[in-house]
Amino acid sequence: MTLLIVGGSGFLGAELVRQAVAAGHRTAATYATGRPPGSTPAVVWHALDLRDPERAEAVVAEVAPRAVVNASSGGADWAVTAEGPVRLARAAAACGSRLVHVSSDAVFSGASGLPYDESCPPDPLTPYGAAKAAAETGVRLVHPGAVVARTSLIIGDGQSGQSGHERVVHELAAGTRTGALFTDDVRCPVHVTDLAAALLELASGDATGMHHLGGAEALSRHELGVLIARRDGLDHSRLPTGLRADSSLPGALDVRLDSRATQRGLRTRLRGAHQFLSSGA
């Protein structure tokens, strides 16, 4: 199978590329700025700015993939995060390619106090969440056969493969960063290897529509930070705590993705944080 990984130079994208190559897929990947991040002949790299509709069409047409996985990240930049995926979806549909678009639990406010399953409508609180929600709607409109896969906090393996969440824990423990890990901000963290495997499984199958790919366990950002610190030999007592409800930072409080419906159709197991952050996991 020929795969195109959009955002292949990012944290999740790099793991998607690694697993795709290991599985024997013909793999192409994109990067937004600078030089190609790798020189292995197993991966063909393409420069792609998702704000450029002609370039998106050209890359998809040149690769002619069976499936496209969009793991790009543009933060709250509306042109990249909201509009870019729709351009990509239009190009994939025109080429007859499957599309798996990675979205986020940031599309939810947490106001319900209940787990969010795939049927729950978005109600974002932040510009990033609003951009992600808009992308979901646009992608499904122009590519009705696409998969939209919402996920949560993505965690790696420490120093050799750190996510942004892990870096924050290290910096807070070292005293090189100000701030706090909220005890009332609850998510369903997922390991990057589990998430990438699940996305590739969705890409190679015939699923369509909305899917949730959160980890099997809900815990607060502080609880997650303590697990990361213990795994990495840091003093977790140095991690400052706080309440998001008492802060000026916008964002949801309790967003638990209910991934059970999606999990039932997958071979890949989406582990909980205590499992993948325990010693030797």
Residue 95 has pLDDT above 60, yes or no: yes
What local confidence, expressed as pLDDT, does residue 188 receive? Answer: 98
Task: Compute the residue count for the chain.
Answer: 281
What local confidence, expressed as pLDDT, does residue 72 receive? Answer: 96
What local confidence, expressed as pLDDT, does residue 160 receive? Answer: 59
Residue 85's closest CA among 127, 35, 136, 123? 136
Query: Does the model's pTM come out above 0.85?
Result: yes
Among 65-79, 90-104, 153-167, 209-223, which is the least confidently predicted range? 153-167
Candidate ranges 34-38, 179-183, 245-249; pick with highest mean pLDDT: 179-183
pLDDT band at 166 (very low <50, low <70, confident <90, very high): very high
Which tokens is 80 given? 């990249």
Which tokens is 221 given? 């950002």
Q: How large is the average pLDDT for residues 114-121?
A: 96
Helix (H, G, I), strand (E, B) or coil at 267: coil
Residue 281 has pLDDT above 70, yes or no: no
φ, ψ for residue 271 (rounded to 5)?
A: -70, 160
User: Which one-letter DSSP state was computed for residue 12?
Assistant: H
**CA–CA distance, 36 with 30 (Å, rounded to integer):** 8
User: Which one-letter DSSP state was computed for residue 166?
Assistant: H
pLDDT band at 33 (very low <50, low <70, confident <90, very high): confident
Average pLDDT, the chain: 95
Which tokens is 140 given? 């499904």
What local confidence, expressed as pLDDT, does residue 136 receive? Answer: 98
**CA–CA distance, 67 with 28 (Å, rounded to integer):** 11
